[in-house]
Amino acid sequence: MNEFELIKRFIAPFGAPSSPAGPGDDCAVLPPTRGSVVTTDAVVEGVHFTRRTFSLEDVGHKALAVNLSDLAAMAATPTWFVCALGLPADVETADVQALARGMAALAKVHGARLVGGNVTRSLQLSLTITAAGEARHPLLRSGAKPGDGVYVSGQLGDAAAGLELLREHATPSGDEARLIAAQRRPAPHLAWAHAAARDVSAAIDVSDGLLQDLGHLCLASGVGADLDSSALPISEALLSVSGSRARAADFALRGGEDYVVLATVPEARRTAFERRMGRAGLAAFRLGTTSRKAGVRLDGQPVGKRTGFVHFD
Amino acid sequence: MNEFELIKRFIAPFGAPSSPAGPGDDCAVLPPTRGSVVTTDAVVEGVHFTRRTFSLEDVGHKALAVNLSDLAAMAATPTWFVCALGLPADVETADVQALARGMAALAKVHGARLVGGNVTRSLQLSLTITAAGEARHPLLRSGAKPGDGVYVSGQLGDAAAGLELLREHATPSGDEARLIAAQRRPAPHLAWAHAAARDVSAAIDVSDGLLQDLGHLCLASGVGADLDSSALPISEALLSVSGSRARAADFALRGGEDYVVLATVPEARRTAFERRMGRAGLAAFRLGTTSRKAGVRLDGQPVGKRTGFVHFD
């Protein structure tokens, strides 16, 4: 199968493009915007997944999900994305269609439109996506002030625990399967971000572990933070599988790939924010508060330097 | 060196970002546009270059150049780009800085702004760029009508001949060095495209070989084309190195990676177009005309199916 046939098969599940838009010309043509945001993120075989532990639908889903999570952190509404594929020689037409199916299903949920792409040979299967969203007032990492509440949009640590289970070749129990699903199929928290946006002073998505990403937000905002370990949102599945609250808390604090939104909310907005999220049926887990004093502390103790999941060092 | 330090080193040669823009948050924040275009293209070690035959500055240059060439084909003005790096374990800080230097120099020439990126480990060095441009009236592949003139913005075949020379480990002569430079350092023809745009009915960039890319334009426009082999623009260097006009013409027709613009111009605009390009000191090589009859013919003979450079089949 040649490059052009392969591209045709890949884009089929995404439905017909509406004009003005690609794919099919040298560039995709995009409509005017009143302000947008853009992000790029890749998933690479052997680094972010293996074909033994992920289905190709999972891979297609996750490649887009990690980009949409960046859009969620800015409270942006997904608009378009492009996908560059690196395909090893043993990847067949059916494989490419499976990647596309997983990606297209998630794209449809969030209204993100595939407008272009690229295909090249490579030794590792890789998907590099660039995704854009509309955001007239994007949330930044730098807006937190001392005394803001620190919230996350969902439970922490499941995906990292799921990764360990995948490595162990386990035949998963129900709880284990939940954690593995969190690893394979992260769900970008776009609805949460849109509901929260008006009260939020700063936000980031948690991809490298809570402590590390909170550290980035604090540094960008010029604040520190105090967290309460008892407030960490830990799923029943994680608690059950990890065997102890301490071990579960370690996944929640340092495990990567949660893809929840971490947001700060000024004290003056606290009541309105918590009530509004509650009325919308959305969890808002309050972990602590930001502080004038730099650094992140857990139950009063400074957290170490090596705080999270580092893909690369 | 960790991921964050490495990113800092990579972005340094690009100068400080102006607001609103990344890098440094979950997404880059982009200004409003009245219409834009976007493209994505990757260069991968062992597929598009080797570290033996390209300097890392060459690689950084070429990764951006192939994307800017897509923008040229739409007559767009480059605005922003993002760059996702796949880095093997043996790539060092100085290597990343060399990639960035080559890329930043070209970005500066064309006013393209790095607004974000991503870094991941990989077995092959790879650079996947997504680039956008402003284009209120983008040129499409689909606008040609029968009887339009077929033009290219520069000489053909040099880069493909340069690739053969690289493979042969030659100590290059002056002519050979010119061809090798065309392979390593393609120059996107943005100035040509902007000057030509008002008279052009359809355009594409020549990346997979003249015959193949002309075939794409013809298919999109629902026309055919008749070319005159004597009109092929062939450099003195290519003629000299390839040893015969016939062999040089083969590079010009089927060789890939020219990164010139192929454009069609209605007969009614011909005189104005050719004079205007001449006054601007820009070459406009007329290769033939489009036709109602489908297919591409060279000196009256249909060209074969396998017409160009296929990265992938």
Q: What are the pLDDT digits (tens) for A219-251? A: 999 999 999 999 999 999 999 999 999 999 999
What is the rounded CA–CA span in Å between residue A133 and residue A110? Answer: 11
Is the pLDDT assigned to residue B312 strictly greater than 50?
no
Is the pLDDT assigned to residue A309 strictly greater than 80?
no
Tell me the H-state helices in A91-234: 93-110, 158-167, 174-184, 190-196, 210-221
Q: What is the reported pLDDT for B137?
A: 84
Please give the share of chain B, as a percent, with pLDDT higher than 90.
Answer: 85
Which chain B residues touch A91 with a CB distance below 8 Å? none
Per-residue pLDDT of B16-45, as tens digits, reads: 765 555 677 889 999 888 889 999 999 999
Structure tokens at B18: 């102006």
Which chain B residues touch A38 with a CB distance below 8 Å? 27-28, 30, 80, 82, 115-116, 130, 132
Contact B40 A141 (CB under 8 A): no
Segment A291-301 shows an average pLDDT of 97
Per-residue pLDDT of B173-190, as tens digits, reads: 999 999 999 999 999 999
Is the pLDDT assigned to residue A311 strictly greater than 90?
no
Residue A168 pLDDT level (bands cut at 50, 70, 90):
confident
pTM here is 0.92
Q: What is the mean pLDDT of chain A?
A: 93
Per-residue pLDDT of B86-131, as tens digits, reads: 999 999 999 999 999 999 999 999 999 999 999 999 999 999 999 9
B93 touches chain A (CB under 8 A): no
Interface of B with A in 94-123 (CB under 8 A): 115-123
Contact A3 B313 (CB under 8 A): yes
Per-residue pLDDT of B143-156, as tens digits, reads: 999 999 999 999 99
Segment A50-70 shows an average pLDDT of 97
State the residue for tokens 């971000």. Answer: A193
What is the rounded CA–CA span in Å between residue A275 and residue A282? Answer: 10
In three-state secondary structure terms, A273 is: helix
Segment A287-302 shows an average pLDDT of 97
Q: What is the reported pLDDT for A5?
A: 84
Per-residue pLDDT of B170-229, as tens digits, reads: 688 999 999 999 999 999 999 999 999 999 999 999 999 999 999 999 999 999 999 999
Suggest the residue from A9, A10, A26, A134 to mutate for an interface test with chain B (most B CBs closer than 10 A).
Answer: A26
Residue B313 pLDDT level (bands cut at 50, 70, 90):
very low
**ipTM of model:** 0.90
In three-state secondary structure terms, A268 is: helix
Segment A115-139 shows an average pLDDT of 94
Which chain B residues touch A128 with a CB distance below 8 Å? 40, 42, 84, 118, 128
Contact A26 B73 (CB under 8 A): yes
Q: What is the reported pLDDT for B311?
A: 47
Q: What does residue B15 show for φ and ψ, rounded to 5 degrees?
A: 80, 170
Q: What is the mean pLDDT of chain B?
A: 93
What is the rounded CA–CA span in Å between residue B264 and residue B90? Answer: 46
Q: Which of B24, B73, B82 comes nearest A130 by C-beta?
A: B82
